Amino acid sequence: AQKVTQAQTEISVVEKEDVTLDCVYETRDTTYYLFWYKQPPSGELVFLIRRNSFDEQNEISGRYSWNFQKSTSSFNFTITASQVVDSAVYFCARRGAGSYQLTFGKGTKLSVIP
Amino acid sequence: DTGVSQDPRHKITKRGQNVTFRCDPISEHNRLYWYRQTLGQGPEFLTYFQNEAQLEKSRLLSDRFSAERPKGSFSTLEIQRTEQGDSAMYLCASSLGTSNTGELFFGEGSRLTVL
């Protein structure tokens, strides 16, 4: 199986601190897609971003930024100036080009303390 | 509310009973997915439909599991002869085939507890 590894099980930060969530993936595909999803306490997974394997440009969206490095098979996610509402479980996932199956990591539980 | 809806939200059953979950996707979405999530784990893919055709099935989907999407709209996931190991959250998601983000829209899930 082509795994997605999120080594950080739980992270706690104080509000306004920056935090980076790590994601390392395995793939045998030439073309693949990487995703981040957020799962707040309500349970509903919310899409944050998709990156294509052929596009290593980093992306920033408000307080969120993503660093994609094919050389290290990593797709890390940084939240700048964290807020209490960022508290959730964050999942990294990958999908090969020939499949619609998402493979998720085990998730990182982020707690932002006021 | 026009999101993905799942029913029931919670189901408690005894081992050996059959259970059925229903998913209503976002109305214009032609793709529908089922995932299973156990405590402390990420969602695991079960199956995928494009319209009414079931195009991908995970090895996790044993012969006790069956999923249908008869008219390409709502879907059902049935588990026969439930086992305690089937206890999990069953998540449904849908997407639009022409979307260039590949975004899946998830429902809130159906939690199954097998006693």
- Render pLDDT for B48-83 as a digit per residue (tens, 0 to 9): 999 999 999 998 888 999 999 998 899 999 999 999
Q: pLDDT tens digits, residue range B75-87?
A: 999 999 999 999 9
If you average pLDDT over residues B100-106, what whole number do you get? 81
**Which residues of chain A does B96 touch, with a Cβ-Cβ cutoff of 8 Å?**
none
Span between the terminal Cα atoms of chain A, in Å? 40
Closest CA to A108 of A24, A14, A27, A7: A7
Closest CA to B47 of B94, B55, B1, A46: B55
Token pair, residue B64, equals 């006790």
Cα B56 to Cα A97: distance, rounded to the nearest angstrom = 14
How far does the CA of residue B45 sit from the closest CA of chain A (Å)?
Answer: 6
Is B42 in contact with A107 (Cβ distance < 8 A)?
yes
Cα A20 to Cα B34: distance, rounded to the nearest angstrom = 30
Is A101 in contact with B48 (Cβ distance < 8 A)?
yes
Is A45 in contact with B106 (Cβ distance < 8 A)?
yes
Closest CA to A37 of B60, B8, B35: B35
Is A45 in contact with B44 (Cβ distance < 8 A)?
no
Q: How many interface pairs between A and B have CB atoms less than 8 angstroms apart?
A: 55
